[in-house]
Amino acid sequence: MRHWLIKSEPEVWSWDKQVAAGAKGTPWDGVRNHAAKLNLMAMKKGDQAFFYHSNEGKAVVGVAEVVREAYPDPATPGEPWVLVDFKALRPFPTPVTLVAIKAEPKLAEMALVKLSRLSVQPVTEAEWKLVCEMGGYKG
């Protein structure tokens, strides 16, 4: 299983809304960046992703799971954009803030730090484990 990080402004789409959407999941839409699109296309059903709140909050707040792999975005016919459906899995007992991530030397290479504008990012196994520990999240 691979791990990812997906970013959303809570004003637009928050963790609470993701939870309210239930087990069927909802499409992760609005990705209009090719690097992010490639990451979406690499996701497999069952892969897990950190759900990160950008702007307001700036923290990893929970884990979401891929329930449907990439398919064409019906909002953009003829264009290469894709959607992936996610469902909320479980919240972090303690959200892991960007400040905390930046303060951890082992996480200095995280895409969240290095490529701050990329909205869909891969997360390495080591990064995944460490961030889960920091948030008190038991996989």
Partner DNA sequence: GCCAACGTTGGC
Residue type, 112: L
35 binds DNA (CB under 7 A): yes
Gap between the Cα atoms of 123 and 133, Å rounded = 15
Instruction: Choose, by CB under 7 A, the member of 119, 130, 134, 137 that binds DNA.
Output: 119
Q: What is the DSSP string of 6-28?
A: EEE-TTTS-HHHHHHT-TT-EEE
Q: Give least dist CB 59 to DNA, A.
A: 9
What residues numbered 36-75 form the site for DNA, per CB under 7 A? 54-55, 58
Q: Which of 28, 18, 40, 7 is nearest to 89 (CA)?
A: 18
Nearer to DNA, 43 or 60 (CB): 60
Longest alpha-carbon distance in the chain? 44
- How many chain residues interact with DNA (CB under 7 A)? 18
What residues numbered 74-113 form the site for DNA, per CB under 7 A? 98-99, 102, 112
Point out which residues bind DNA (CB under 7 A). Answer: 7, 9, 32-35, 54-55, 58, 98-99, 102, 112, 115-119
